[in-house]
Structure 1
Amino acid sequence: MKKMKQAIVWLACMGLLISMAGCNLAGLKLQENADYHPYVLDPHINKTTWQYIKDRSYNFSGKDTIFKLMLQAIEYSGIDTNLYIKTNCTFVLLHNDAVFRTTVVNKVPTITADCYWGKYLINGKPGTKWSDYPKDQVKNYLLYLIVQGAYSFNNLTPTNVVGTTLQPLNYDPLNPTSIMTLRVNNDQNFTMRLNDFSNSVAYVSVRTSNILPINGAIQVIDRVLFYQTK
């Protein structure tokens, strides 16, 4: 029995040597040890939020216009653009999908209810452009997307932070104190969530988080964000 075990071990060693030789014969090199140098992307963009919005709205190649519809909202509403260079703020930016997004229903493209134009109806129908809405409504929604205090992965935890937005108090009857909650989800993806609180009607997971301009923090969303309890 002992000799049989020794034979098995000897055959296994020979098989390993043969396979290693086979790699060399086939022209393949054995993997060599190498030092691993981890690299973390720098979240700093070295520009203001306002410049970042413009840079990713106008692009003659047409490949990077993800904030095009948000910039249209800013221009239409007449909001003071100096607010986007205001320091120590969190800026929630609207990806185009958060404004206008479609799905196919019965082979017909249909605006979804989880984008701005699909949620806020005009005479029972989705909007198709910002001018379908009162300027004051659009302006106050944009003000809601600016939170006082720069919140990012540097200072958020799974416990909600209640942020005060620039939306005027009592403008929204469903959110008279004009607050927004921010937290990171305690899972492997560490997703940032907005308005994810007990009895919330809906929360939004941040699409691109922790972008750091020179005047605060940026969180990009691709679904309409609102505050409402059940």
Structure 2
Amino acid sequence: MKALKITINCFLLLAVTTTFLPGCKKMLGLNLQENYDYKKKTLDPNINMTAKDFLLKRADGTPDAPTDTVFRWMKKGLDYCGFDLSEYERPGRTFIFLHNDAVRGFNSSGVMDKGLFFVFQIIVPDANGNPVMNPTTGLPQTRPATRWEDYSKETVRNFFKYLIGQQVYNYYDLNAENKAVQSALPAGTAATKESLLGYWDPSVSAFNPNGGKGFDQDGKFYLRIQNNADIAPIVFNDRTNDRSMGYIATNGVVHVYGAALYPSK
């Protein structure tokens, strides 16, 4: 969430209404003020809580906002792999959060066609447990995942470690050049091969029929600002734009993504 300046200016609308449509107020039953002093407001990016509390608040909902569960599927993955949530309380970090759509996104027809479950699909085994290979692509045949349990706990745990940067990089700490951020994932970590993540080869940025490491082998992710005329998003690993950014927690900053994240540049 950038700190956006939002100006509410009703003066022009009021002038047009009172000048050209003098009967509108009575007809609509409105009691409009004759003079309106607008005030400029800046949205406060400070969430006044740790990244962990922010995650839990918007994963399970609250009595005041029971339907605010945008991190529910992220939390399901953390629960499944037994992730230590105290990692989200440690200070001086950049936290990459997954909106539900980043895990399992659906089109207007209700068909999953985006998100991690669709991009890193599950390998279809034969009767002996060996991958069934696609002769055209040379890659194993796959199906979309339907739950975190389709993946190994080890790979899910490592994926979430990769989404925690060891320093704080907010919007104003970045520019158009990629900034390498050391993650909490140890260098040299490889993904297991129950899914296409185990065939993702960071060295060529493609799926490798011979298998791949899956994760950036330096344990780093990359952030930069996309220069355009619109919202200038933070781009993760040269591929995915943020959904919202710059939530300032008491122990770092949170950036939220709504599409699949690849664990290498």
TM-score range, shorter chain: 0.7 to 0.9
| Aligned equivalent of 2:237, options 186, 190, 195 | 195
1:24 Cα offset (Å): 7.9
- Partner in structure 1 of residue 19 of structure 2: 23
Does the Cα contact within 8 Å between 2:242 and 2:255 map onto a contact in 1? yes
Report percent identity of matched pairs: 29
- Partner in structure 1 of residue 178 of structure 2: 160
Q: Alignment partner of 2:42: what SS?
A: coil
Q: Alignment partner of 2:41: what SS?
A: coil
Shifted more, 217-226 versus 155-164: the winner is 155-164
Superposed counterparts of 1:145-224, under 5 Å: 145-172=163-190, 173-174=213-214, 175-188=216-229, 189-196=231-238, 203-224=239-260
- Partner in structure 1 of residue 83 of structure 2: 79
Q: Distance in 1 between matches of 2:50 and 2:160?
A: 17
Equivalent position amino acid for 1:171 in 2: T
| TM-score normalised by L of structure 2 | 0.68
Alpha carbons of structure 1 residues 55 and 26: separation in structure 2 relative to 1, 3 Å: closer
Q: Alignment partner of 1:42: what SS?
A: coil
- Partner in structure 2 of residue 126 of structure 1: 144
Q: Alignment partner of 1:154: what SS?
A: helix
Q: Distance in 2 between matches of 1:36 and 1:155?
A: 32
Q: Distance in 2 between matches of 1:116 and 1:102?
A: 12
- Partner in structure 2 of residue 115 of structure 1: 115
Kindly provide the CA deviation profile for residues 7-31 of structure 1, in whole angstroms up to 9, marking residues without a partner as x: xxxxxxxxxxxxx9x93894689xx
Q: Distance in 2 between matches of 1:141 and 1:43?
A: 27
| Uncovered stretches (5+) of structure 1, i.e. residues with no partner | 1-19, 197-202
- Partner in structure 1 of residue 210 of structure 2: none
| Aligned equivalent of 1:48, options 17, 42, 50 | 50
Q: Distance in 1 between matches of 2:187 and 2:21?
A: 76
| TM-score normalised by L of structure 1 | 0.77
Say how many residue pairs are matched.
Answer: 198
Equivalent position amino acid for 2:84 in 1: D
Q: Distance in 2 between matches of 1:98 and 1:25?
A: 48
Give the RMSD, CA atoms, in angstroms.
2.6
Q: Alignment partner of 1:207: what SS?
A: strand
1:35 Cα offset (Å): 6.3
| Uncovered stretches (5+) of structure 2, i.e. residues with no partner | 1-15, 26-33, 125-141, 191-212
Q: Distance in 1 between matches of 2:232 and 2:36?
A: 30
